[in-house]
Structure 1
Amino acid sequence: MLRLISRQKKVAINRTFLRSLFIQTQTTPNDDALKFLPSMKILPEQTTIEFLNGRQAFKSPLALKLFGIDGVKTIMIGHDFITVEKKTQDDWSLLKPEIFAVLTESLNNGTPVLNEQHQADASDQALLEEDDEDEVVSMVKELIFTRIRPAIQDDGGDIEFVRFDYETGTVYLRLRGACRSCSSSSITLKNGIESMLKHYIEEVEAVEQIEEDEDGNEFEDPLAAKKPVQFEEAQLKPRSRDVAPPPSL
Structure 2
Amino acid sequence: MSNQIKTVKTSDESILKFEANDFLVKHNSFEFHNIEEAKDSVLAQQLFHLPFVKTVYIAQNFVAIQKYNIIEWEDVQQELAEQIQNFINSDQNIVVEKSEQPKKIPVTVYAESTPNPHVMKFVANKKLVLKPLEFKSIDDTSEVELAQKLFHFPFVKEVYMDENFISVQKYDMAEWDDITMKLREFIRSYLEKNAEIVKSIKSKNVQPNENISTQTNTTTKNLQGISKQISEILEEYVKPAVASDGGNIVFQSYDEDTQAVHVILQGACSGCPSSTMTLKNGIETLLKDILPQQVNEVVAING
Q: What residue number does 1:160 align with? A: 250
| Cα separation, 2, equivalents of 1:108 and 1:102 | 10
Q: What residue number does 2:171 align with? A: 87
Q: Deviations over 1:156-203 (max 9, x none)?
A: 100000011111111100000011111213312331111111221132
Q: What residue number does 1:22 align with? A: 108
| Pairing partner for 1:65 from 140, 149, 155 | 149
Q: Does 1:151 align with 2:235?
A: no
Q: Deviations over 1:39-84 (max 9, x none)?
A: 111112xx21111111112221110011111201111001011111
Q: What residue number does 2:199 align with? A: 115
Q: What residue number does 1:15 align with? A: none
- Is the CA contact 1:62–1:111 (under 8 Å) kept in the aligned structure 2? no
User: Mean alpha-carbon deviation: is it higher for 194-203 or for 181-190?
Assistant: 181-190
Q: What residue number does 1:40 align with? A: 126
| Cα separation, 1, equivalents of 2:252 and 2:179 | 33
| Cα separation, 2, equivalents of 1:184 and 1:166 | 28
- The Cα shift of 1:211 comes to 3.2
Bigger Rg, structure 1 or 2: 2
| Cα separation, 2, equivalents of 1:61 and 1:35 | 19
Unaligned runs of 5+ in 1: 1-17, 213-249
Give the ranges of 4+ consecutive aligned residues of structure 1 lying more than 3 Å apart after TM superposition: none
Unaligned runs of 5+ in 2: 1-103, 202-207
- The Cα shift of 1:207 comes to 0.6
- The Cα shift of 1:32 comes to 1.2
- Is the CA contact 1:62–1:112 (under 8 Å) kept in the aligned structure 2? no
Secondary structure at the aligned position of 1:184 is classed as helix
- Is the CA contact 2:111–2:121 (under 8 Å) kept in the aligned structure 1? yes
- Is the CA contact 2:115–2:275 (under 8 Å) kept in the aligned structure 1? no
Q: What residue number does 1:12 align with? A: none
Aligned counterparts, 1:147-226, within 5 A: 147-201=237-291, 202-212=293-303
- The Cα shift of 1:93 comes to 2.5
- Is the CA contact 1:61–1:111 (under 8 Å) kept in the aligned structure 2? no
